Amino acid sequence: MKKLVKTALQSIGLDLVRHEPTQLRSQLENYPELSQQEKEILLSVQPYTMTTVERMTSLLQAVTYVSKNQIPGDIVECGVWRGGSMMIIAKVLLANNDVSRTLYLFDTFEGMSEPTDDDFSVDGRPAAVQLKEEPKGTGVWCEASIEDVRANMISTGYPEDKILLIKGKVEDTIPNTIPKHVALLRLDTDWYESTRHELQHLFPLLDSKGILILDDYGHWQGARKAVDEYFQATGDPVYLHRVDYSARILVRNGQG
């Protein structure tokens, strides 16, 4: 996804730069509310994520909110790449002595699934065309093996029996393997069909004070369409707070 995002941003005069450790450390100085321990957590997962410092920081703070306020439920992420975001989650939960939650990681673990005609990037280019421009196995496909992700997650020290990696398209694996209750839901599968499916089956499980994170809302038009259609259909009043150009976050408003 990184190269796709970079190409699209360059077309509108923006750019995306992978955070190197020194650069990330410098950027984190702009977040005085973070403790040194929290900054070290973010630095430690840098090789395993493509997300921006804004997304990393907002995720860390979201997990802290869930843990310290004892919001009940498990943690679910759809689209995990090498597991960096869930590693943040695991390390924050460990730091808060909160290891009773099961972590669900949904991914094909074989790279991106095929997009549909609903999937365009922010510059209007079809996702299918962009994927064809890059050979499978390159970074653009967000490919990481299930063994790689499992090893990365185990390295956090979070209880191994509380880490579930579910392989396959979410349209095939959900709702067959899902928790009964969710405290935090992070969606990062880019496409319209997968995002729609995830919301239909997982958002109703989100606690009335739980958190939803949408990684692709600003960049992929299909993901945004799925989100907008879902909340228009349910009638749930929601406020999507902007994290950066693409990511959005909401705290559920007491419904459900």
Cα distance between the two ends of the chain: 33
pLDDT digits (tens, 9 = 90+) for 221-249: 999 999 999 999 998 789 999 999 999 99
17 against 104, higher pLDDT: 104
Quote the tokens at residue 94: 């460990």
| Residue 154: burial class (beta carbons within 10 Å; 0-12, 13-18, 19+) | middle
Q: Are 89 and 61 in contact (CB under 8 A)?
A: no
Strand pairing partners for 213? 186, 249
Residue 102 Cα distances to 2, 43, 87, 125, angstroms? 29, 24, 13, 38
Residue 21 clears pLDDT 90, i.e. is over it? no
For 2, the 3-state DSSP assignment is: helix
Q: 64 falls in which pLDDT band (50, 70, 90)?
A: very high
Which ranges of 29-137 would DSSP assign to H, the alpha helix? Answer: 36-45, 53-68, 84-95, 127-132
Q: Give CA–CA dist 174/163, Å, rounded.
A: 17
Residue 118 clears pLDDT 50, i.e. is over it? yes
Q: If we measure between CA atoms, which residue out of 52, 16, 61, 166 comes closest to residue 104?
A: 166
pLDDT at 6: 47
Q: If we measure between CA atoms, which residue out of 4, 1, 97, 81 comes closest to residue 45?
A: 81
Contacts of 173 (CB under 8 A, 6+ apart): 106, 166, 167
Q: Give CA–CA dist 219/221, Å, rounded.
A: 6
pLDDT at 85: 98
Strand bridging mode 206-214 / 248-251: antiparallel
Strand pairing partners for 121? 220
CA angle in degrees (0–180, nearest 5) for 95-52-219: 130
pLDDT at 143: 75
129 against 53, higher pLDDT: 53
CATH 3.40.50.300 fits 2-251, yes or no: no
Residue 218 clears pLDDT 60, i.e. is over it? yes
CA angle in degrees (0–180, nearest 5) for 24-220-83: 45
Q: Are 199 and 227 in contact (CB under 8 A)?
A: yes
pLDDT digits (tens, 9 = 90+) for 149-163: 999 999 999 999 999
120 against 216, higher pLDDT: 216
pLDDT at 84: 97
Contacts of 215 (CB under 8 A, 6+ apart): 51, 55, 79, 186, 187, 188, 246, 247
Side-chain-side CA neighbours of 11 within 13 Å: the count stands at: 12
